Structure 1
Amino acid sequence: MDSRSLNTKSSVETFISLMQLDPAPIETDKDLPPLPEEAADADSTTAASIANTSASGSTGSSLGLSGSGHGAVYYLARIQRYSSYAFSIFTTVHLATTSIVPLLTRSVSSSESYLLLSREIYQTRISEPLLVAAPLAAHILSGLALRLVRRSQNLKRYGGATPGVMVPAKSRGRGREPSAWPQLTYTAAAGYGAAAAVFAHAFVNRGLPLLVEGDSADVGLAYVAHGFARHPAVAWVAYTSLLAVTAGHVVWGWARWLGLAQGAAWDSSAAVVGRDVRKRRRRSWLLINGGALVGALVWAAGGLGVVARGGRSRGWVGDLYDAMFQKVWL
């Protein structure tokens, strides 16, 4: 007898392994097949669709919106992905001049000139909307829209029960059912936290100077250092929160785009996966979290280790910074 036949798994374990699927990466944008009634409606309008397609086929084909069969999930997923590419350009330049350069120069004043030069890249009338505002808004709104669309699909097709999700035995007796909302991953949760932290950071460093002075030309690393010196508790909590959630979201997000995060986990049920698979998932989990930790430490070394210790600004510049902070009750 073949030795492999003696090592087969029970049918129950096989069934569980089929039900407990790993969350699909964000770029997996396959739409569900149409319901029978939707298929009937589609058949009734096929002739009209063919006529309309032949009339406007060249325009629709050039835009990729005609005859592709793609739905809202397809386009929203691509908006979410490609908007992160554009915003990553700004993030890379900004972190280089506000963290890595201060770490190398060990001086706030010596790093100011590099920050001013970088503003010519991402803080002009054209580049700021294209590289900062529009990609950030598109990334957040498309992510929210994806959750709403997928929830609508679950409600329509499964009556509120998300397919492939098994209800724990202790929850069945309480009458609890699986939620129709898509699973909120740690990456998505960190993204919502990062969005709030980024908006607060942008308001204090960009919006507040515009509201008070009408310009942000006098705001740089010395402004941040002054804030740490005058309001250390608030500054440390805000900056540490921004650093932690943003580093985690960015590294895990890029790991998903590169296909490295699929299946990455520390804990895996032995009844579902084998030892080799579990080890591979743990290695991926450690690699991604290690990358996030390294990125956060480098960011903190320049931002918290150098800029935060720059001290107060004196004279009229310090008075100007104090007047700005007073507008937000600091």
Structure 2
Amino acid sequence: MPSALDTKSQDFDAKSILSMQELDPSPVDDSPSTPDLDSLENGEYFPQTVEDKPSRTCGFPTPKLGLRAHRWDALLSGIQKYSTYPPTAFFILHFANTSLIPLITRSVPASEPYLLLTRPVYQAPGLEHLVLTVPILAHIASGIALRNIRGSRRARLYGAETRAQRNLLSFWPKVSVQAKTGYLVAPLVGLHAVINRVTPYMVEGGSSGVGLGYVAHGIARSPVFWNIFYLVFVTASVWHFIGGWATWMGWRVTTARKERGSKGSLEGYLGYPENQDRVKRQHKMWWVVNGVAAVGAALWLAGALGIVGRGGEGSGWEAQGWNEMYSHVPVIGDWL
């Protein structure tokens, strides 16, 4: 004979079965919940944890002092990006003065007045360092710091144990074309500034006598050196500027980052229409960015070397002053 406890248990099971409802099936989310390695290395995936939430005191959030790794990443990325804005304005003016205007006038003396008109804009006392010196140094320093931070993060992700393994993963293995052109342009910009700004200031107390004629005079004195210098300098600079602005606009062509699924995953080998369209867009972006850079470099060299470079040596007291300035350039003055 069943006990009272068994009877209550059977009644509870019956009520539970009757109370169950039939639910419609729902699709399973197949999207991965873990980030990819590129996002982790670049600091683009930082889930909000309990530690990241600001503590509360009397109902008000209390911010924590100090910067975490991803906050440093965001701060340095902002400095690296926005420090390119002032030099870009100078870049456009300099491109017009040293290339477009000489190509239009077909004469160095006729192009000099236009250079003198725009010179006070970026060579005013204090403004030159604000437009060029400080932003360029900030851009270089933030880029190196970002590379070190992301390299250390990469070493931790891949479990580097020895110093040799950490050094191998820390800085140079993933240097992109964009970074390589930047590292190439940096010393060339420094040499260009020493020859055209620092040395004239040391010799004559200013660079008021430095213009297109000064550049033409130097090229006529040492044509091999200056043609190679400006060929490398202009080409690398234009590619770095165009590639950098393409990256800021979302066209990652010269950077080391690859699109997800393009290689090393099953999705890259499947002939889905969306994957084919993405590959076509990538090829189009590559051709557009590199085409613009090639046209810009060719146009600049046509004006700088094709017109200014054939201007010939100066004459009289002006040529003597230029010879004095070129001979006082540190280290390479004897070659110029």
TM-score, reference length from structure 2: 0.73
Matched, 1:214 2:205: yes
Q: CA deviation at 1:190?
A: 0.5
Return the offset for 1:261.
Answer: 2.3
Match of 2:84, SS state, is helix
- Change in Cα spacing, 1:146 to 1:318, as seen in structure 2 (3 Å) is same
Name 2:223's counterpart in structure 1: 232
CA contact (8 A) 2:43 2:150 kept: no
The TM-score, its normalising length taken from structure 1, stands at 0.74
Q: Does residue 1:179 correspond to 2:180, yes or no?
A: no
Residue aligned with 2:83, SS: helix
When residues 54 and 69 of structure 1 are mapped into structure 2, their CA distance, relative to the original with a 3 A threshold, is farther
Any conservation in 2 of the 1:230–1:312 contact (CA below 8 Å)? Answer: yes
Distance (whole Å) between structure 1 residues aligned to residue 100 and residue 62 of structure 2: 52
2:184 matched residue in structure 1:
193
Q: Which amino acid aligns with 1:115?
A: L
Q: Which amino acid aligns with 1:210?
A: Y
Amino acid at match of 2:100: I
Asked if the contact 1:151–1:180 (Cα under 8 Å) also holds between the matched residues in 2, the reply is yes
Partner of 1:6: none
1:96-115 alignment runs, 5 A limit:
96-115=96-115
Match of 1:72?
72
Aligned partner of 2:117 in structure 1 is: 117
Find the counterpart in structure 1 of residue 233 from structure 2.
242
Would the aligned equivalents of 1:264 and 1:285 in 2 still touch at CA under 8 Å? no
Unaligned runs of 5+ in 1: 1-14, 162-174
Which residue of structure 2 lines up, in the alignment, with residue 9 of structure 1? none
Describe how 1:1-330 pairs up with structure 2 within 5 A. 30=44, 32-33=46-47, 42=51, 47=55, 50=56, 71-160=71-160, 179-181=169-171, 183-261=174-252, 272=268, 274=271, 275-327=276-328, 328-329=333-334, 330=336
What SS does structure 2 have at the residue aligned with 1:193? helix
In the alignment, the residues of structure 2 paired with residue 304 and residue 215 of structure 1 have an alpha-carbon distance, to the nearest angstrom, of 25
Separation of aligned partners in 2, 1:199 and 1:67: 32
Report the counterpart of residue 10 of structure 1 in structure 2: none
Q: Render the CA deviation track for 1:24-59: whole Å, top value 9, x for unaligned.
A: 7x9x7636458xxxx78x48x965xx45996987xx
Q: CA deviation at 1:276?
A: 3.9
CA contact (8 A) 1:31 1:74 kept: no
The Cα offsets for residues 127-151 of structure 1, whole Å up to 9 and x where unpaired, read as: 1111111111111110001001112
Give the secondary structure class of the aligned counterpart of 1:296. Answer: helix
Q: Secondary structure at the match of 2:181?
A: helix
CA contact (8 A) 1:225 1:311 kept: yes
For structure 2, the 5+ residue unaligned runs are 1-31
Question: Any conservation in 2 of the 1:225–1:307 contact (CA below 8 Å)?
Answer: yes
SS of aligned partner of 1:71: helix
How far apart are residue 122 of structure 1 and its match? 0.5
Measure the CA separation in 1 of the matches of 2:135 and 2:225: 28
Check 1:53–1:100 CA distance in 2 against 1; reply closer, same or farther (3 A cut): farther
What secondary structure, in the 3-state scheme, does the structure 2 residue paired with 1:217 have?
coil
Give the 3 Å change call, closer, same or farther, for CA 69–219 of structure 1 in structure 2.
closer
Which sits farther off after the overlay, 268-277 or 223-232?
268-277
Contact 1:261–1:288 (CA<8 Å) still a contact in 2?
no
